[in-house]
A and B are shown apart, each in its own frame.
Chain A
């Protein structure tokens, strides 16, 4: 089955810096890659997603890039703010009428003011 590796497990940055979280996947049939943010004690929330027919997607300070050949995708957060502090999860899933996501282990992002 699909295997998703996520790095780093912890990321500490200063406010205003950029943060990059990387995920690799094993199944070349995966074609949908969402990213979730989970603040402490709260539910996960989708922050951005990308499909395999797109190489990059941006939403304000957040961007995701996908390299299908290398089977990896990354989350980029620019101008980080303390409220960006949370655990971020990547996921990969195969399409074709099903949605069985495999998640990365999560990255704890800490933004120091």
Chain B
């Protein structure tokens, strides 16, 4: 099976702009989770989608949002970008998402100038 893919792999934006990141899970996986990874804060959970519904949410402001489509592909949106949003954004997929093996994508590296 093909692994988790994410697009784009690299992105440069300026403060105040918005950005949309995409994640395609492994075929058959219905759960997609998003994470932010930074040197200062480490790996932090953003949210999880399952069957087109946000099932769990981490402690991030409302500028961070997402959605999931019927084919399980997921998008994450960040509005009004801040310098501190510069990070590696990882998505991970699993069959059902409830405390089972998660398979990570390669990530999207976002730089906010």
Contacts and interface: CB of A to CB of B under 8 A. Distances in A.
Interface residues of A, number: 25
B interface SS class: strand
B48 A99 contact: yes
A34 B55 CA distance: 20
Interface in B16-57: 33, 42-45, 48, 55-57
B66 to A, nearest CB: 15
A98 B105 CA distance: 21
B42 to A, nearest CB: 5
B92 to A, nearest CB: 8
A24 interface: no
A93 B48 CA distance: 13
Contacts of A95: 98-99
Contacts of A34: 102
A89 B42 contact: yes
Contacts of A91: 43
A97 interface: yes
Contacts of B105: 43
Given A43-B104, A46-B102, A95-B99, A101 B45 contact: yes
B102 A98 contact: no
B90 interface: yes
A106 B43 CA distance: 9
A106 B101 contact: no
A65 interface: no
Given A42-B106, A46-B101, A91-B43, 14 more contacts: A31-B99, A32-B99, A43-B90, A43-B105, A44-B104, A89-B42, A93-B99, A98-B56, A99-B33, A99-B99, A100-B48, A103-B42, A103-B44, A106-B43
* Closest A-B pairs by Cβ, 4 of them: A43-B104, A32-B99, A103-B43, A105-B42
Interface of B: 33, 42-45, 48, 55-59, 90, 97-99, 101-107
